[in-house]
């Protein structure tokens, strides 16, 4: 399953994912594409501005983690990010 994270500026993959869905669900419902790949699982990456690390700031971004079991032959393992995938839309789809 692909792990779906809501992250704040300057962070990636902190805490538990908000959901786990099949990669096909992420493609169909979130518009995830293979071009949204940003980093492999070992190196990680940072989203947004690192200067806003306040514990009171809200999550702004959706990051999708694809593991080897889910990737298959057409997708890379790693972290996928697209600024067009909005948290409010994902919350609606998950409720």
Task: Return the domain boundaries, the chain.
Answer: 2-94
Tens-place pLDDT, residues 2-59: 999 888 766 665 667 889 999 999 999 999 999 999 888 887 666 666 555 555 557 7
For 63, phi then psi, to 5°, come to: -120, 135
Which pLDDT score, from 0 to 100, does residue 77 have? 93
Look at residue 75 and tell me whether its pLDDT is greater than 90.
Answer: yes
pLDDT band with cut points at 50, 70 and 90 for residue 84: confident
Under 8 Å between Cβ of 27 and 67: no
Q: How far is CA 57 from CA 7, 9, 10, in A?
A: 10, 9, 11
Which pLDDT score, from 0 to 100, does residue 46 have? 67
pTM of structure: 0.81
């Amino acid at each position: 399953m692909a792990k779906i994270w809501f992250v704040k500026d300057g962070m990636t993959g902190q805490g538990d994912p908000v959901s786990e869905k099949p990669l096909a669900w992420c493609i169909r419902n979130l518009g995830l594409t293979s071009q949204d790949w940003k980093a492999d699982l070992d190196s990680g990456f940072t989203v947004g501005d690192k200067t806003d690390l306040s514990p009171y700031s809200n999550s702004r971004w959706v990051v999708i983690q694809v593991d080897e079991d889910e990737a298959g032959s057409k997708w890379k393992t790693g972290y996928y990010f697209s600024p067009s995938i909005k948290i409010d839309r994902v919350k609606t789809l998950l409720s």
